[in-house]
Every structure is written in C-alpha cells, then in structure tokens.
Amino acid sequence: MQSLRNFDLIPNHTLKSLILSWRNQRHLLNSSPSSSSSFHGHTELTSLLSAVESSPFKVSTLKKLRSFARENSAAFVASGGIDALRRVILRSAADSDYFSAFQDCEEALGVLDGIPFENDDASVGLLAAPDSLRPMLLVLQRGGAEARLHAISILQRISRADPSVTDHFHQDIDVFKSLLDLLSDEISASPRLSSSSLDLLLEAVAVSKPNLLRAVEAGAVRVLIELLPDAGRHREGRVLMLLKRLCECAEGRSAFADHGMGVAAVASKIGRDGEVGTKVGVKLLWLVCSFLPTKKVVEDMMAFGAVKKLLGMVHGEGQSSTREKALRMVKMHGEAWKRLPCFPCELRAVLY
C-alpha cells in the first residue's frame, strides 16, 4: 500500500468525466419513456380519430376513444377531437332511423360528456350550433337512460357557457314532454337523471318566455303539483321554484288554478323547516291570488290551511318581503275568507 505524504485533495479528471457520463446516461434513460409514451399516445389518438371518421362500425372505436380521452382530455381537444365527435353525431342524426347510427350517436355523447370543453370557446361554439343541438335533443327524447343523462349533462354545460342555447328548446314540445317524463318517473329513470331533468327545465324557462309557455303547454304545472307532496327537502325547493316561474305567466297561473290540489300542495310546504320553501310558496300563492283569484282558489286557501299560515306570518316579528306579501293577500281576500263557514272564530278579531 502506498503511503500518502499529505492529505491535500488532487482533482481526478478521469473520475469526474466518468461521473458526468453516468449522469447523462441516467437522464436519457429517465426521459426516454416519457417522450416515447407521448409519441405513442399521439399516434394512438390520430389512429382512433381516423378510424372514427372512416369505419362504418364506430361503437368499438368510440369506446376506446372514450377511455383515451378521459386521461388525455387536453390532447384530445387540441387534436380536433370535439369536431370529430360532432361529425359523428351529425352523421348519426341524419340516419337516426337506423339503430346502429343512433347507437353511434349515444356512444359519441358518452365520449363528449367526459371531456371538460366548457373553457374552450371554439368547442362550445361547435356544440352550441343548432345542427349540433338537434341530435342531442333527439337522444334526450329517444335514447337509453345513460345516453339521456349524457345528453342532459352536455346541454347544461353548453348552456352555462352560452345561455342562449336553450332558446331552441321551444321549437319542439316533445323536448319538454321528455324532460317531464324523466322528472316524474324515478322508477325507470334514475334519481340522478330525474334531478338533472329538473335542473335543465329550470335553466330553460329562466331565459326564454317561449320555453315557459311550451313547458306549460307540455303539462309541467300538473306534473310539478303532483310531485310536490312527496318531494324531499332538497328537491321540493327546486320544484317550487320551477312552479313559481311557470306561474309568472298567465297560462301557468290558469293551469295552477284549474288543478284541484295546487293550493293544497303549496300550502303544505309553507311554514316548514325550510325557509326557501316558505318564501317561494308565499310568492307563488301571491301571484295566483293577485292575478287570478278565482272563487275556488280563495276557498282552497282557507280549506287547506294557507290562510292560517299567512296570518301567523302577518302577526310574527320582523319585516320581510314574504311577510309583506302575506299581509297583502290577507287585506285582498280577508273579507271573503271571513264569510266562509270554516273560518275559525278565534281568527276573526285578528284578521285585517
């Protein structure tokens, strides 16, 4: 063994070059799979999009594309995937009488629903075009449960980015009939599908008077009144809100007044634990009492306990728009209620 005369460090350039060479090789090894994976991913996407365009049997390719797009949504959008799906949907709609074509459309909507396209203006513009909306509305009316859910989800996402999209709904009353069927039938339609239908109806009538009239024409007032008694707390607020919006037009108020259980259904939700239900319920009754106070409506308010609840609000503490509407209804119809034989004697002294 050679003895060291001193312990000063002597640079070893050979060793240094070996270390640098080893580090460079490690870097290449580590980065190579990533770049290779990216290359293969792009190649796979290009191949799938080409197959979707050319193959007459698209469902299996669309299923693969759905799996790929879920994990590579940004690359999918950047590669023109939204436009490719749109072309599939348009071609399928043109041949909608053929089962296989309609199935292609349903599967394409499934792919589309898994892609976050809302922040891409170009994608929203493509999907918001009337010719793109028609196939979605067709699936909403005739598709399977899962496809309908995809169609509703896509329509909601487009309408949030471009609220004018729902303006097209009134052109086809069957759109509203289909949404109401899904809303009222939780046995064949899943709770999620029913809830999504309610949300889309709320959005549609909020932005368009023609949609409001179409919904009334499709029987929405009757459906909502019959849903209200058994609606859970979360759902009842939205049902009441939609019913209130429908009663903002004369046709909606007329349909409400003609229904035998309209007042009873709304009165049962006033004064419960939920403040929203009370506020919306009172506003709804105020609309009907102010603009269409038929003899039956006035008598039903007495018979089903609405008057008693209104008086409780009037004599409660505090000021609010809800209390003000209750007071106005009492002043408006108090004398008529007082003459009814079922009017409680103890309330005669407090009635305004």
Structure confidence at residue 95 (pLDDT): 73
Name the band, by pLDDT with cuts 50, 70 and 90, for residue 130.
Answer: very high
Q: Which two tokens stand for residue 254?
A: 């007329």
pLDDT at 140 over 70: yes
* Tally of CA atoms within 13 A in the half-sphere of 320 that contains its CB: 15
Q: Cα–Cα distance between 214 and 192 in angstroms, integer?
A: 24
Structure confidence at residue 158 (pLDDT): 95
The lowest-confidence range among 33-37, 104-108, 220-224, 323-327 is: 33-37
Look up residue 275 and give its amino acid.
E
Q: Which two tokens stand for residue 297?
A: 């409506």
Q: Cα–Cα distance between 92 and 235 in angstroms, integer?
A: 35
Q: For residue 233, what are the contacts with CB-CB under 8 A and spacing of at least 6?
A: 273, 274, 277
The secondary structure of 231-268, three-state, reads CCHHHHHHHHHHHHHHCCCHHHHHHHHHCCCHHHHHHC
* Dihedral Cα 168, 235, 216, 203, nearest 10 deg: -20
Between the CA of residue 179 and those of 112, 201, 224, what are the distances in Å? 21, 7, 12
What is the per-residue pLDDT across 94-129, written as a single tens digit (0 to 9) for each? Answer: 776 667 788 999 999 999 999 999 888 999 999 999
Q: Cα–Cα distance between 110 and 63 in angstroms, integer?
A: 9
DSSP state of 118: T
Mean pLDDT of all residues in 144-171: 93
Beta-carbon neighbour count of residue 18 at 10 Å? 11
pLDDT at 34 over 60: no
Residue-by-residue DSSP string for 178-201: HHHHHHH-TTTS-HHHHHHHHHHH
Tokens 């898994």 found at = 114
What is the per-residue pLDDT across 79-94, written as a single tens digit (0 to 9) for each? Answer: 899 999 999 999 877 7
Contact 183, 223 (CB under 8 A): yes
Look up residue 318 and give its amino acid.
G
Structure confidence at residue 190 (pLDDT): 81
Q: Which two tokens stand for residue 18?
A: 């070996």
pLDDT at 307 over 80: yes
Write the burial class of residue 242 (CB in 10 Å: 0-12 exposed, 13-18 middle, 19+ buried): buried
Contacts 24+ apart (CB under 8 A), 321-326: 321/279, 322/278, 322/279, 322/282, 322/283, 325/282, 325/283, 325/286, 326/282
Q: Cα–Cα distance between 192 and 53 in angstroms, integer?
A: 33
Structure confidence at residue 43 (pLDDT): 83
276 compared with 219, residue with greater pLDDT: 219
Q: What percent of the chain has pLDDT over 70?
A: 83
Structure confidence at residue 27 (pLDDT): 45
**What average pLDDT is seen over the chain?**
85
Mean pLDDT of all residues in 146-158: 96
Q: What share of the chain is helix, strand, coil (3-state, %, to 5)?
A: 75, 0, 25
pLDDT at 172 over 70: yes
Mean pLDDT of all residues in 138-161: 94
How distant is the alpha carbon of residue 352 from its chain centre?
A: 43
Beta-carbon neighbour count of residue 131 at 10 Å? 11
The candidate with the shortest Cα–Cα distance to 285, out of 261, 311, 267, is 267
Structure confidence at residue 39 (pLDDT): 43
Q: Which two tokens stand for residue 21?
A: 């060479």
Tokens 């891409």 found at = 120
Q: Which two tokens stand for residue 100?
A: 């296989």
What is the per-residue pLDDT across 191-245, written as a single tens digit (0 to 9) for each? Answer: 889 999 999 999 999 989 999 999 999 999 999 999 999 888 788 999 999 999 9
Structure confidence at residue 315 (pLDDT): 82
Beta-carbon neighbour count of residue 26 at 10 Å? 10
Mean pLDDT of all residues in 164-189: 87
Structure confidence at residue 33 (pLDDT): 44
